[in-house]
């Protein structure tokens, strides 16, 4: 099963908004609301930012939000800050009772 499709990179200036897309199929993103997003600064373990498409764990700023339409999920970061610079990965449950990750997106804050 191929990885979910994410853009390799996105960028934005401080204060701006960016959106990272995550495209799957009807076997994963399109069927389940079990999409999650993870932030990974260089050299660190991933951190959960969004779960079940739209939910934020405690401690995650409300500048981070998630959504889904059809086979594509999205992570939007508003009011960009320098500390948001990191790699971001989406993950989805699948009809095969497995989990699949996206290829990752490098966010650069200009």
Partner 1 sequence: QVQLVQSGSELEMPGASVKVSCKASGYDFTYYGLNWVRQAPGQGLEWMGWINTKTGNPTYAQGFTGRFVFSLDTSVSTAYLQIPTLKADDTAVYYCARLRSGWFYDYWGQGTLVTVSS
C-beta of 17 vs 55, nearer to partner 1: 55
C-beta of 52 vs 83, nearer to partner 1: 52
Nearest to 91 by CA among 29, 44, 1: 29
C-beta of 45 vs 82, nearer to partner 1: 45
Measure the CA–CA gap between 54 and 21, rounded to whole angstroms.
Answer: 14
What is the binding site for partner 1 (CB under 8 A)?
Answer: 1, 3, 32, 34, 36, 38, 40, 45-48, 51-52, 57, 87, 89, 91-93, 97-104
Q: State the nearest-atom distance from the C-beta of 76 to partner 1, in Å.
A: 18
Nearest to 9 by CA among 78, 108, 90, 100: 108
Nearest to 30 by CA among 80, 100, 77: 100
Q: State the nearest-atom distance from the C-beta of 13 to partner 1, in Å.
A: 26
């Amino acid at each position: 099963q191929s990885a979910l499709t994410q853009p390799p990179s996105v960028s934005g200036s401080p204060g701006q908004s960016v959106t990272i897309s995550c495209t799957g199929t009807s076997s994963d993103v399109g069927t389940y609301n079990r999409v999650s997003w993870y932030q990974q600064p260089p050299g660190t373990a991933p951190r959960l930012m969004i779960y079940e498409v739209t939910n934020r764990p405690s401690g995650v700023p409300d500048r981070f939000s998630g959504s889904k339409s059809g086979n594509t999920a999205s992570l939007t970061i508003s009011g960009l800050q320098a500390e948001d610079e990191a790699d971001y990965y989406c993950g989805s449950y699948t009809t095969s009772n497995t989990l699949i990750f996206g290829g990752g997106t490098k966010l650069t804050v200009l």
